[in-house]
Amino acid sequence: MLANQAVYLLEQSEEVDSVNEADNCRRIMALLLDGAGLSKALEPSYRAVLDALKRAGQGGKGVKVAPDQRSAWETQLDQMLTGAHA
């Protein structure tokens, strides 16, 4: 559910300049990236978030995320997904 909400906020939200929605996105990402481990069953959801981060800002929708923050999240997700296969 959190992964779906993150994807929505990053790609579909029409509240592009909403401070509240941007804060919600940051909190959701913190929960997703808390390092509790990634189960095989959740990999597709995390990959969807990673893909959304890479597409964020395209099409004029999605909350604004600073490029350095987006890059940091992408790196963390990539490491989690890579580690899940180690």
Nearest to 63, CA basis, from 1, 5, 12, 4: 12
Burial class (CB in 10 A: 0-12, 13-18, 19+), 32: buried
Average pLDDT over the chain, rounded to an integer? 90
- Mean pLDDT (whole number) for 53-70: 90
What was the pLDDT predicted at 85? 57
Nearest to 43, CA basis, from 85, 72, 86, 13: 85
- Band of the pLDDT at 84, cuts 50, 70, 90? low
- Mean pLDDT (whole number) for 9-15: 93
Least confident residue range of 10-19, 25-34, 43-52, 57-66: 57-66
pLDDT tens string 25-56: 999 999 999 866 677 888 999 999 999 999 98
Domain ranges of the chain: 2-83
